[in-house]
Amino acid sequence: MATGQLFSRTTQALFYNYKNLPIQRMLDFDFLCGRETPSVAGIINPGAEGFQKLFFGQEEIAIPVHSTIEAACTAHPTADVFINFASFRSAAASSMAALKQPTIRVVAIIAEGVPESDTKQLIAYARTNNKVVIGPATVGGIQAGAFKIGDTAGTIDNIVHCKLYRPGSVGFVSKSGGMSNEMYNTIARVTDGIYEGIAIGGDVFPGSTLSDHVLRFNNIPQVKMMVVLGELGGRDEYSLVEALKQGKVNKPVVAWVSGTCARLFKSEVQFGHAGAKSGGEMESAQAKNQALREAGAVVPTSYEAFEAVIKETFEKLVEEGKITPVKEVKPPQIPEDLNSAIKSGKVRAPTHIISTISDDRGEEPCYAGVPMSSIVEQGYGVGDVISLLWFKRSLPRYCTQFIEICIMLCADHGPCVSGAHNTIVTARAGKDLVSSLVSGLLTIGPRFGGAIDDAARYFKDAYDRGLTPYEFVEGMKKKGIRVPGIGHRIKRGDNRDKRVELLQRFARTHFPSVKYMEYAVQVETYTLSKANNLVLNVDGAIGSLFLDLLAGSGLFTKQEIDEIVEIGYLNGLFVLARSIGLIGHTFDQKRLKQPLYRHPWEDVLYTK
């Protein structure tokens, strides 16, 4: 066990099992104390490496993350404190691994419920190798104005209130982390504050004892008096009694053992900590308080009188000239986190993303204001979901059914079209699903599947301006623009695309108006008079019919329809549909275990 000071203003720690809040609290304490370097040198997250962004005052810093204790100790040889936030299941193993590192002097174990046999092994190893274990079941410890462990002393407001940003003259040790916060406040009210405070933890076998730390405090010149808060159960306080009787402590000790109320109960009472259970008269709070009083400690008559005797002891030391009260200093202001400042109404900050189609902040996600449960309970289909997310409104059933038909008809068009071919070649190269899918999607454009928007745009412009099919087609020809939605490599006037026929049949049956489709058919009649392959293709059919859907539903203004066509909604329908087929081709090639594709020589014209 160390015989003097554990921490200083240059102490750095390794933090095991990343927790944002306690690390940020440590860094905020560093800034409050005016430290030049952060007290957390590195983070250990088993299986993970990289960096974690945190704040050191107003500056954002990146703290290295290591996957093993050994790697962290090698990377940060000056970090000699190991703060262990592992669960009780793994706390012992990770703590022992840390103790075996030559660079580690102090290990703080936060977890409760660490098996007692494991704790005994840790204690034995630490004592043999002159190392310190704080805990298990501890909140940690603090050296005022220098270094703190994890969540010790709570919030920054509490730390400032307890004057922990600068050192005082009192050494404090307790079993309870919660009561430590209370005592830091009490001590700050009636003295110049603490110099160092330790919560040894409430388990039956603490890694270091009350007397271990009192003896340490006795060797620290800046500590002028000690305050000890024990509790019923166990016999730890008696080691302090022996130290006092043997004259090993020559500074005033003010002590109280809580749990005097246990005698009011007829049966044995288990208090909050595992060790807080009176197993006999000697383990009672009354017996311990009496023994400490007889050994020379200043022991009040009750906890309520604890503050008064601390004050009395401190003032006596001041009168004797043994303590020169610390001068007060004003700590720097810790920058407030943006989220808390916004919540408290202190600042307003602009958002970076606007979303009008969905909201996931409530109990369940909503699509355009419709809760997910309603979508399921009311039997919405894929077309309904598209209408909500794309058009921000519920469309009539014939509209959503048309959308679903388009998706079904455009899902695939065989393995020979460019998109499917690219996907197949990529899948056979051993690439993953997303890579194979994207390879196929990247072929979609003016020549493959991407003409729906252009077809809708040109058909709408021509119809709205009252152009005859002749004027429209010939005008496009003069501009050197092919009519989008007209023409097919395979289909002919006497061999129409079945998909086009199905879409037209549905629309004529269900749509209130098909004026744009009929105009497209008139254009097709004119183009077929020029060449037998200039048929209305599926892009042209979907483009013209979507104009009828938007105009005929009465749910969209002319400006909205123009915007939908301009943005690329209709091509989005083809992208969505064809993704289904491209994914299918990827799975098909993987399932068939097809080898790397190489194009045959005989299918290439080699020429100079």
Amino acid type, 444: I
Burial of 557 (0-12, 13-18, 19+ CB in 10 A): exposed
Domain that holds residue 548: 411-592
Phi/psi zone of residue 34: left (φ > 0), alpha (ψ -120 to 50 degrees), beta?
left
How many Å apart are CA 309 and CA 301, to the nearest integer? 10
Q: Are residues 316 and 443 in the same domain?
A: no
pTM of the model: 0.70
Q: Looking at residue 276, what is its pLDDT? A: 47
Q: Looking at residue 130, what is its pLDDT? A: 95
Average pLDDT over residues 331-349: 86
Phi first, then psi: what are they for 180, rounded to 5°? -60, -45
How many Å apart are CA 207 and CA 397, to the nearest integer? 71
Average pLDDT, the chain: 93
Q: Are residues 291 and 433 in the same domain?
A: no
How would you write 554-575 as a 3-class SS string?
CCCCHHHHHHHHHHCHHHHHHH
Query: Is 280 a residue whose pLDDT tops 90?
Result: no
Amino acid type, 581: G
Query: Is 278 a residue whose pLDDT tops 80?
Result: no
Which helix (H) or strand (E) element contains residue 171?
Answer: strand 170-174
At which residue do the structure tokens 């340490």 appear? 216
How many Å apart are CA 548 and CA 529, to the nearest integer? 26
How many Å apart are CA 378 and CA 398, to the nearest integer? 16
Residue 492 is given by DSSP the state: B
Give the catalytic positions in this structure: 273
User: In the numeric block, which tokens belong to residue 214?
Assistant: 């009192």
With respect to residue 395, please indicate whether it lies within any of the assigned structural domains: no
Closest CA to 389 of 400, 398, 379: 400
With respect to residue 497, please indicate whether it lies within any of the assigned structural domains: yes
Whether 228 and 253 have beta carbons less than 8 Å apart is answered as yes
- pLDDT confidence tier of residue 451, bands split at 50, 70 and 90: confident
Residue 51, number of CB atoms within 10 A of its CB: 12
Q: Are residues 91 and 225 in the same domain?
A: yes
Average pLDDT over residues 234-256: 95
Q: Are residues 219 and 78 in the same domain?
A: yes
Q: Are residues 143 and 272 in the same domain?
A: yes
Q: Looking at residue 279, what is its pLDDT? A: 59
With respect to residue 515, please indicate whether it lies within any of the assigned structural domains: yes
Residue 589 is given by DSSP the state: H
In CATH, what number is assigned to the domain containing residue 24? 3.40.50.261
Q: Are residues 431 and 304 in the same domain?
A: no
Which helix (H) or strand (E) element contains residue 13?
Answer: strand 13-16
With respect to residue 358, please indicate whether it lies within any of the assigned structural domains: no
Q: Are residues 305 and 450 in the same domain?
A: no
Closest CA to 13 of 25, 211, 590: 25
By DSSP bridging, strand 13-16 and strand 40-44 are: parallel
User: In the numeric block, which tokens belong to residue 141?
Assistant: 């410890």
Query: Is 270 a residue whose pLDDT tops 70?
Result: no
Cis omega (within 30 of 0) on the bond before 335? no
How many Å apart are CA 550 and CA 556, to the nearest integer? 6
Average pLDDT over residues 208-215: 96
Q: Looking at residue 483, what is its pLDDT? A: 92
Looking at the 3D structure of the chain, how many domains does it have?
A: 2
Q: Looking at residue 274, what is its pLDDT? A: 47
**How far, rounded to the nearest angstrom, does the alpha carbon of residue 227 sit from its chain's CA centroid?**
40
User: In the numeric block, which tokens belong to residue 186?
Assistant: 């009490």
User: In the numeric block, which tokens belong to residue 441?
Assistant: 């999607």
Residue 119, number of CB atoms within 10 A of its CB: 24
With respect to residue 181, please indicate whether it lies within any of the assigned structural domains: yes
